[in-house]
């Protein structure tokens, strides 16, 4: 690896100039030491606690009401799939949703249209093995949102640049811009930072925030810590811990603390009043042969659980429930998902001849 990178530096130029030769040798030594550490890619700063937030806890899985989904895979390479979804009594969900998905080794496209005329479109494009551009556009309730993100994945680091609703047509730059970088410094430890700059309108002052993050990976556990510097909305700190107890059982905890100026507007670290708010969540995930069970409890008195059960190879049933002991409220959700795969495609899947592409999600 180091020799390949070194080959891109002109040797003739290095031999004619002592300074360039010294820099070349220093760079070679740095690459050799870096490769000797055996560092791996730590992922993105945004997903620094992905094992807890996206796999164990129920934030991305909970729903209420009744839902029915019908998925129709048309091809496996490239991936092409259509789906219809009906919902009733679900909070924040449209009664009917139609979506289409296409994925290949370089391109990922997904479009969703709801019965209230809301539209969501996603597109990802892989320029090479390291660089992926992600675009997300939404039109909902008369409001629109556009985000463009570029992720560069190196051998032992990930750099991201994201813009949300960027605009220069009003005589200046406005929108939300996020830049992040996460670097592995040892085989177990990764450090990173994230900078946010935003301006809602040209007649308002821009705001900036800076966050620091750390991620430590043990043999069967992962811990992460994020700290946000003090800004207009105060400062914040969050930590998470994930542990794999067995091959089928994993647990995770998440703790968040926020410090905001008091109502008097004179709060600060050196004096005045500070509003302090914190929350804690703990969850577990159990994987069985044909089902997955998740449970979660938080400091606000809510107990949640979710069971995903595969009844037939093409039928999956999901049960969700939440009890809020402080508010004396309960929520229940039931979902049925059917995958109408053609016999030819199903036969390819059973024989293992249908190879899925590496889609740039």
Position 265 scores a pLDDT of 45
Q: Is 142 helix (H, G, I), strand (E, B) or coil?
A: coil
217 φ/ψ angles, rounded to the nearest 5 degrees: -115, 120
Q: Is 129 helix (H, G, I), strand (E, B) or coil?
A: coil
Average pLDDT over residues 199-222: 93
Element (H, E) at 346: helix 343-351
Position 93 scores a pLDDT of 82
Residue pair 341/73 in contact by the 8 Å Cβ criterion: yes
Average pLDDT over residues 87-112: 92
Beta strands in the chain (DSSP E): 65-76, 79-88, 96-103, 107-114, 119-126, 131-140, 143-153, 157-167, 174-184, 189-199, 207-217, 221-231, 234-244, 249-261, 274-287, 291-298, 302-312, 315-324, 329-339
Position 11 scores a pLDDT of 53
Whether the per-residue pLDDT at 1 is higher than 50: the answer is: no
Exposed, middle or buried, 103 (CB in 10 Å: 0-12/13-18/19+)? Answer: buried
Whether the per-residue pLDDT at 10 is higher than 90: the answer is: no
Whether the per-residue pLDDT at 58 is higher than 80: the answer is: yes
Position 352 scores a pLDDT of 67
Picking from 122, 120, 119, the residue whose alpha carbon sits closest to that of residue 135 is 122
Position 2 scores a pLDDT of 43
Position 130 scores a pLDDT of 95
**Is residue 92 very low, low, confident or very high in pLDDT (cuts 50, 70, 90)?**
confident
Average pLDDT over residues 69-93: 91
Position 91 scores a pLDDT of 75
- Tell me the average pLDDT of the chain: 88
Whether the per-residue pLDDT at 223 is higher than 80: the answer is: yes
Position 355 scores a pLDDT of 77
Position 331 scores a pLDDT of 93
Residue pair 183/168 in contact by the 8 Å Cβ criterion: no
Position 221 scores a pLDDT of 97
Structure confidence by residue, pLDDT tens digits, 104-145: 999 999 999 999 889 999 999 999 999 999 999 999 877 899
Tokens (6 digits) for 232: 């207009």
Whether the per-residue pLDDT at 249 is higher than 80: the answer is: yes
Out of 86-90, 137-141, 149-153, 311-315, the most confident range is: 149-153
Structure confidence by residue, pLDDT tens digits, 317-357: 999 999 998 889 999 999 999 998 887 777 777 666 667 88
In the chain, what percentage of residues exceed pLDDT 90? 66
Average pLDDT over residues 233-255: 94
Picking from 87, 73, 62, the residue whose alpha carbon sits closest to that of residue 314 is 73
Beta strands in 232-328 (DSSP E): 234-244, 249-261, 274-287, 291-298, 302-312, 315-324
Q: How far is CA 232 from the centre of its chain?
A: 25
Structure confidence by residue, pLDDT tens digits, 21-37: 888 888 888 878 888 88
Structure confidence by residue, pLDDT tens digits, 262-287: 644 444 444 456 788 899 999 999 99
Average pLDDT over residues 76-104: 92
Number of Cα atoms under 13 Å in the Cβ half of residue 243: 4
Q: Report the C-alpha gap between 311 and 335 in whole angstroms.
A: 13
Element (H, E) at 207: strand 207-217
Position 50 scores a pLDDT of 95
50 φ/ψ angles, rounded to the nearest 5 degrees: -60, -35
């Amino acid at each position: 690896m180091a020799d390949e990178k070194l080959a891109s530096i002109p040797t003739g130029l290095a031999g004619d100039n002592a300074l360039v030769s010294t820099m070349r040798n220093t760079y070679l030594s740095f690459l050799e030491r870096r490769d000797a550490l055996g560092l791996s890619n730590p992922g993105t700063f945004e997903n620094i606690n992905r094992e807890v937030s996206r796999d164990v806890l129920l934030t991305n899985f909970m729903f209420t009401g009744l839902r029915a989904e019908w998925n129709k895979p048309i091809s496996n390479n490239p991936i092409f799939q259509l789906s219809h979804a009906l919902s009733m009594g679900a909070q924040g969900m449209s009664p009917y949703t139609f979506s289409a998905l296409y994925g290949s080794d370089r391109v990922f496209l997904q479009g969703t249209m709801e019965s209230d005329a809301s539209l969501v479109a996603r597109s990802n494009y892989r320029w090479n093995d390291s660089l992926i551009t992600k675009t997300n556009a939404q039109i909902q309730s008369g409001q629109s949102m556009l985000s463009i993100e570029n992720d560069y994945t190196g051998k032992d680091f990930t750099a991201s640049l994201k813009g949300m609703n960027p605009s220069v047509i009003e005589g200046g730059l406005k929108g939300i811009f996020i830049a992040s970088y996460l670097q592995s410094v040892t085989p177990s430890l990764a450090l990173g930072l994230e900078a946010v700059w935003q301006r809602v309108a040209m007649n308002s002052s821009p705001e900036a925030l800076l966050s620091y993050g750390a991620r430590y990976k043990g043999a069967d556990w992962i811990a992460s810590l994020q700290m946000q510097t003090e800004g207009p909305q105060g400062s914040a700190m969050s930590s998470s811990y994930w542990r794999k107890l067995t091959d089928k059982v994993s647990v995770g905890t998440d703790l968040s603390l926020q410090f905001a100026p008091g109502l008097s507007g004179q709060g600060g670290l050196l004096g005045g009043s500070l509003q302090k708010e914190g929350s804690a969540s703990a969850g577990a995930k159990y994987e069985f042969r044909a089902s997955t069970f998740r449970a979660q409890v938080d400091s606000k008195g809510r107990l949640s659980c979710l069971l995903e059960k595969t009844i037939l190879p093409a039928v999956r049933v999901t049960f969700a429930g939440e009890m809020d002991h402080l508010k004396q409220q309960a929520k229940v959700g039931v979902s049925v998902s059917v995958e109408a795969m053609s016999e030819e495609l199903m036969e390819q899947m059973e024989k293992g001849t249908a190879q899925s592409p590496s889609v740039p999600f």
